[in-house]
Structures are given as C-alpha cells and as structure tokens.
Amino acid sequence: MNDDPIKTVPYKRPVLSSDQILEKSAEYYDFLNLRRSVREFEEKDVPKEVIENLIKTASTAPSGAHKQPWTFVAVNSKELKKKIRAAAEAEEMDFYNNRATEEWLKDLAPLGTNWSKPFLENAPWLIVVFKKVYDELPEGRAKNYYVQESVGIASGFLISAIHNAGLVTLTHTPSPMNFLSDILERPANEKPFLLLPVGYPSSHAQVPDLERKPLDEVSVFL
C-alpha cells in the first residue's frame, strides 16, 4: 500500500465572468431539462469510441478516498443482449405479477411500464454499471468507502454525458439483478448497480408528459 501524500498541482479551471457564470448555469439547466427517459430505440449503431468517451466522463466522478469503485460493462453483442433481455423479463414478469405491492403498481401505472423490455435488445449498447463493494488487489482485499454514493454520482455523470452526446437512455434496475453478474461473468467483489441502454431514440418515441417539481418544492434557501 502506498501511504505517501499525493503530489499536488495548481488547480486549472475555465475562468468565467459573473455574467458568463449566470448564462452558463441557465443554459445547462435548459439543456438538462430536455433530458427524458426514453424506452424506444432506433436500431442504429453507436461507435465504440463514443461509448468509451461516455465511460471516461462517468469515471471523472468524485469517489470515497478516490477509490473509483466502479466497472462499466459496455455490451454491444447481440447474443449477450438477448440473454440479458430474457433474464430481465423473467424477473420483471415475476415482479409485476407477484412481488410488486398494490401501491407500487399504482405508482407505476401512469408511466405505463410493464414486464416487456424490448429496449434491452434494440438499443445498440447496454452499459451495465457495477459497484465494487471491495477491491481485489494482488496484495489482498481492500476496503472501498461510500460505494453507493460514489457509483450513484458516476451514474449521474454518465446519464448527463449520454444526453450531451445527443443520445438517450433510461435507468433500468431489474430486481434482483444478480443475473447480470452471471451473464457478464463479473467477479464476486462487483455487484450490479444500474443498467443503462444507450442509443438513438426511435423517430416515433413517446415519453410521458411529466412535470418537474418547481424550485420552491425541491429547495430551501437559508
């Protein structure tokens, strides 16, 4: 283990005027406010280099003790996507028919989701985010910290990077999702966290006409 303090370098940032800061903050809000979870994809491929850039962006996220406790598994293989869809739909069928409470089904009803997940095969890429609950190093097991928070933040970066690239995604969380570890052959220290299909929206993609809570409902200024 290396206990030396990390070397420091001068902090570099884009230097903006206060007017530019105001403009940028408003622009970024307008831009991200256009993001929607899209469930219908065009069967059009996205180059691997694009996916690499998205993953590199996600991996710039802050993490507990800079452990970067994540692995992004990018799946383009038709065969693997087919296997993932079959396993996810089996879980979802059981969820919608047996496991979901009345209240949960009632909350989901306006969104119109069901057990059928064609996007798991239609989207050109599935990015499966794994959290590393601990690190397996040559010298043995090492602890990771704030894993849930760190991987959640990295996933947020990933979603905004996908939107920024003009592509779409949705946050799919089949439950339980251990089948992803088996199909993707991940080691025991990695647990599936989130599945993001990535691609172009289908030209007839529809999204629910949702309203976002206004600022005064989601914030308190003191």
Could you list the residues that contact ligand IYR (CB under 6 A)? 92, 95, 108, 113, 172-175
Output the CA–CA distances (angstroms, integers) from residue 130 to 23, 81, 113, 168, 182, in the order listed. Answer: 36, 17, 24, 20, 13
Minimum distance from residue 101 beta carbon to ligand IYR (Å):
11
Among residues 85 and 172, whose Cβ is nearest to ligand IYR? 172
Identify whether the C-beta of residue 69 lies closer than 8 Å to the C-beta of residue 135: yes
Report which DSSP code applies to 95.
I
Instruction: Give, for 128, the enclosing helix (H) or strand (E).
Output: strand 125-132
Minimal distance, residue 46 CB to ligand IYR, in Å: 22
Q: Which is nearer to ligand IYR, 50 or 84 (CB)?
A: 84
Nearer to ligand IYR by Cβ, of 174 and 197: the residue is: 174
**217 Cβ neighbours under 8 A, 6+ residues apart:** none
Minimum distance of ligand IYR from residue 104's CB (angstroms): 7
Residue number, 86 or 108, with CB nearest to ligand IYR:
108
Q: Name which of 162 and 194 has its Cβ closer to ligand IYR.
A: 194
Closest CB 87 distance from ligand IYR, rounded Å: 13
Q: To which residue do tokens 């088996």 refer?
A: 182
**In the complex, least distance from residue 95 CB atom to ligand IYR, rounded to whole angstroms:** 6
Distant-in-sequence, close-in-space partners of 181: CB < 8 Å, separation ≥ 6: 130, 190, 191, 192
